[in-house]
C-alpha cells in the first residue's frame, strides 16, 4: 500500500468512525425526544457514514460503476436529509412539505440521469476526483445548491433568535458536510476529505456541547421547581399549624 493510499484510507476510516458515533448519539437522542429534526439529521449522518466508507473502498482501488453511482446518489440524498432536518427547526409546514416533494423529484431525476449516463474515471490517485456527465452534474447541483441555501438561511435565523454559538456550530457543520463533495478543486482534490473532517468536528462540538448545556439547564430548572415545591409544602404546613393554633385558642376562650 502506497503512502498516499494509506493516508486516504486511514483518513476516511477516522471520518467514518466519528460520523458513526455522532449518528448513533443523535439516533439515541431522537429516541428520547422524538424531535423530527434529530430524526432527519441522524439519518443524514448515517448516510454520510456509509458514503465515507465507500470512499475508503475507492482508496483501495476497489470500485465499479454501480458503486460510484450509489456513492454519488448517497451524497445528494444525505444533503437533502440534513436540509430537511434544519427545516424542522422552523414552524412553516408548507415550506417543509414543498421541499420534501422537491427532494423526491430530484432523487427520481438523478436515478434517471444515471440510467442514461456512464460515470467512469472519477477515481484518481485514490480519491474521488474527475469530470461527471453533464446530466448528473445538473441534477446533483439542483439537489445540493438549494439544500445549501436552506442550511445557510436556517443557520442565520437560528442564530439571530437564540444567539447560541453551539447551534450555529451545528448548522455550520451540517453545511460543510453537505457541500463537501463540491468543495474539492483540481489542484487539491484531497480538500474533499479536509472539509468532511472539519464538518464532523463542528458537529461534534455543537451537538455534544449543546447537550451538556441543555442538560445543565434542565437540572437547574428541576432544582428550581423542587425548591419552589418545597417552599410551598412548608408554607402550607405552617399555615395549617397556625390555623390549628387559632382554633385551639378560640375553643379555650369559649370554654
Q: Each residue of 93-107: b (16+ CB within 10 Å) or e?
A: eeeeeebeeebeebb
The residue ranges of the chain whose pLDDT is under 70 are: 1-2, 4, 121-130, 178-193, 209-255
C-alpha cell at 2: 502506497
In this predicted structure, what is the pLDDT of residue 168?
74
In this predicted structure, what is the pLDDT of residue 136?
85
Quick one: fold of 3-212?
Rhopdopsin 7-helix transmembrane proteins (1.20.1070)
Give pLDDT tens digits for 8-27: 788 888 888 988 998 898 89
Give pLDDT tens digits for 168-213: 777 777 777 766 655 543 345 556 667 777 888 888 887 776 554 4
In this predicted structure, what is the pLDDT of residue 217?
43
Q: What is the largest CA-CA distance in the chain?
A: 107
In this predicted structure, what is the pLDDT of residue 218?
41
The helix or strand, by DSSP H or E, that contains position 127, with its residue range, turns out to be strand 127-128
Helices 65-87/165-183 angle, 10° precision = 150
Amino acid at each position: 500500500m502506497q503512502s498516499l493510499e494509506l493516508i486516504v484510507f486511514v483518513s476516511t476510516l477516522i471520518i467514518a468512525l466519528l460520523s458513526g458515533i455522532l449518528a448513533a448519539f443523535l439516533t439515541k437522542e431522537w429516541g428520547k425526544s422524538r424531535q423530527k429534526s434529530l430524526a432527519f439529521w441522524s439519518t443524514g449522518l448515517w448516510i454520510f457514514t456509509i458514503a465515507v466508507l465507500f470512499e475508503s473502498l475507492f482508496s483501495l482501488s476497489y470500485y465499479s460503476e454501480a458503486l460510484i453511482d450509489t456513492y454519488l446518489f448517497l451524497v445528494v440524498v444525505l444533503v437533502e436529509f440534513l436540509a430537511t432536518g434544519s427545516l424542522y427547526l422552523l414552524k412553516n409546514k408548507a415550506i417543509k412539505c414543498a421541499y420534501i416533494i422537491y427532494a423526491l423529484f430530484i432523487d427520481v431525476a438523478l436515478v434517471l440521469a444515471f440510467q442514461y449516463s456512464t460515470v467512469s474515471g472519477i477515481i484518481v490517485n485514490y480519491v474521488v476526483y474527475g469530470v461527471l456527465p453533464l446530466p448528473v452534474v445538473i441534477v446533483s447541483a439542483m439537489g445540493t445548491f438549494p439544500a445549501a441555501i436552506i442550511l445557510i438561511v436556517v443557520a442565520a435565523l437560528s442564530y439571530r433568535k437564540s444567539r447560541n454559538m453551539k447551534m450555529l456550530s451545528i448548522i455550520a457543520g451540517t453545511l460543510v458536510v453537505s457541500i463537501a463533495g463540491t468543495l474539492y478543486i483540481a489542484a487539491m482534490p484531497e480538500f474533499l476529505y479536509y472539509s468532511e473532517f472539519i464538518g464532523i468536528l463542528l458537529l461534534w462540538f455543537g451537538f455534544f456541547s449543546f447537550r451538556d448545556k441543555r442538560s445543565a439547564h434542565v437540572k437547574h430548572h428541576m432544582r428550581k421547581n423542587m425548591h419552589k415545591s418545597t417552599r410551598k409544602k412548608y408554607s402550607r404546613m405552617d399555615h395549617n399549624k397556625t390555623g390549628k393554633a387559632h382554633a385551639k385558642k378560640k375553643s379555650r376562650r369559649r370554654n
